[in-house]
Every structure is written in structure tokens, then in C-alpha cells.
Amino acid sequence: MKKHELKIDGMSCGHCAMHVKKALEGIDGLEVETVEIGSARVWYDEEKIDKKVIEGKIEEAGYKLASVQ
């Protein structure tokens, strides 16, 4: 597993961060370290989880994945 920094657009408050955290926690094999306004630090294996799955969950929550580092 590798640590990744997700940049997320559209978050403006603590409620937004909790909503994104809940969405990310629904992805099997992904571990959430922290979620703050505009970003999240997560651990996952790139060979097992496609970035599009993460992007889809964030979009379902009402936000946009800007980048993954």
C-alpha cells in the first residue's frame, strides 16, 4: 500500500470533509488517514484500486477529485 494525497474541489466545511470521508471509507482496500477541507490522505494499492473508483465515489458525494499525488 502506498500513501496518496488527494486534492478535492468543492469542499468548504467540516461537514463536507465528513461526507467525503464516509464516501472514501466505502472503498474496499482503501484506508483513510485524514480528510480535511480540500484534501484527503489515504493508503491504497494502485494495482488493486483504480483512480476512477476513487474519483467516482468523490463525485457521488458531490465533490470533484482535482489530483492524486
Domain boundaries, the chain: 2-38+45-68
* The CATH number of domain 2-38+45-68 is 3.30.70.100: yes
Record the cell numbers describing residue 16, joined without a space. 463536507
- How much is the mean pLDDT over the chain? 96
pLDDT, tens only, 34-66? 999 999 999 999 999 999 999 999 999 999 999
| Residue at grid coordinates 499525488 | 69
56 grid coordinates: 467516482
pLDDT at 14: 94
Q: Give the model's pLDDT for residue 43.
A: 97
Q: What is the pLDDT of residues 1-36, one digit of tens each?
A: 999 999 999 999 999 999 999 999 999 999 999 999
Beta strand spans in 1-69 (E): 2-9, 31-36, 39-44, 64-68
